[in-house]
Amino acid sequence: MTKTLALTLAFLSAGLLAQEAKKPVVALIPKGATHVYWKSVEAGAQKAALETGVQVIWSPPEREDDRRQQMGMVDALVLRKVDILCLAPLDATALREKAEKATKAGIPVLIFDSPLTRPEGASIGYVGTDNYRAGKVGGEGLAKALHGKGRVIMLRYAPGSASTEERERGFLDGVKPFPDIKVVSSEQFGGATVASALDKSKGLLLRFSGDNAPDGIFCPNQSTTYGMLQALQQKKLAGKVTFVGFDPTAALVDSLRKGELAGIVSQDPFKMGYLLVKAAADKAAGKTVPAITDTGAAYVTAQNVDTDEIQAVIKPQLGN
């Protein structure tokens, strides 16, 4: 290789490295990484990153109830001076201070999936599901599947999770117009894992059995839906109790086809990740970002699951 060619290649390489270094760095801190839901969010984010030329850092906590670890991740990314910070707060109140800290450090914060308490001064926008409306859709769907009458249980997710709290509130409002629907339990929490939700579900099915058995059940997220479904299967009640869950996977859609689930409220996590990074890239380019970007929700049943409209929403989520 001649000296001239070597110098030319060195300059080209340096130029490419400089170009890479100039890419805006967009950090995403989801609530977790184990559920198919979060894998779909990441896939959408990476697609947008390729299209916009930003660099995405995906930094999930190990568990969906580890607020302390998520707080530490925000601190670390603020010290790293990323260009945009995207956060799905595990606790709407506890993480607000950290989002405000990033904002004061000159790092714009986008909230996704689950809103903050009092976002003013702590974030520039929210990208995600209208969780109240999604929960209400689940409540209306369950009430209609029960023909407007019956005893109903709702298993909550976890205290402090704004997204699921809004779904739970929406669900309760969704069944209110049906006077013959009686909510017999709505105060129990399944917790952050399928195992904890399974244990809590078993306890509920034991408590409400025989003449007190529920006619319908609602769960507001993927882990509570899985836990309750397993409990129903173990008790040989799957398909006998009208059950509406949240966030489809291949296994849950299979249960829907078998009649073990009457409906699944589906967010669009791929679209959420995609629009989140698009918004982050716009902010990095000096453009205005909407205060709220609603990524939509759909109600999936055995009757509509194979339609093009529903498949477009759920297909990216059927990884497991």
* DSSP assignment letter at 303: T
Task: Give residue 18's pLDDT.
Answer: 44
Please tell me the predicted confidence (pLDDT) of residue 319.
58
For residue 248, which phi and psi values (nearest 5 degrees)? -70, 150
> Is residue 100 a contact partner of residue 72, using CB atoms and an 8 Å limit?
no
Residue the block writes with tokens 């669900």: 171
Structural domains for the chain: 3-128+269-289 (3.40.50.2300), 131-267+303-309 (3.40.50.2300)
Instruction: Please give the backbone phi and psi of residue 218, each rounded to the nearest 5 degrees, phi first.
Output: -130, 135
- Distance in angstroms (rounded) separating the CA atoms of residues 274 and 267: 13
Amino acid 5: pLDDT? 42
DSSP track, 227-269? HHHHHHHHTT-BTTBEEEEES--HHHHHHHHHTS-SEEEEE-H
Place of tokens 């929406």: 170
* Torsion-angle region of 240 (φ positive above 0: left; ψ -120 to 50: alpha; else: beta): alpha
Tell me what pLDDT residue 317 has.
78
Which pLDDT value is given to residue 4? 46
What pLDDT sits at residue 141?
98
Mean pLDDT per segment of 10 residues, for the chain of length 320 residues? 45 46 91 89 96 97 92 97 97 94 97 93 96 97 98 96 95 98 98 96 96 97 97 97 96 97 96 97 97 96 96 79
Q: What is the pLDDT of residue 215?
A: 98
Q: In DSSP terms, which residues pair with 299 in a beta bridge?
A: 265
The model scores a pTM over 0.85: no
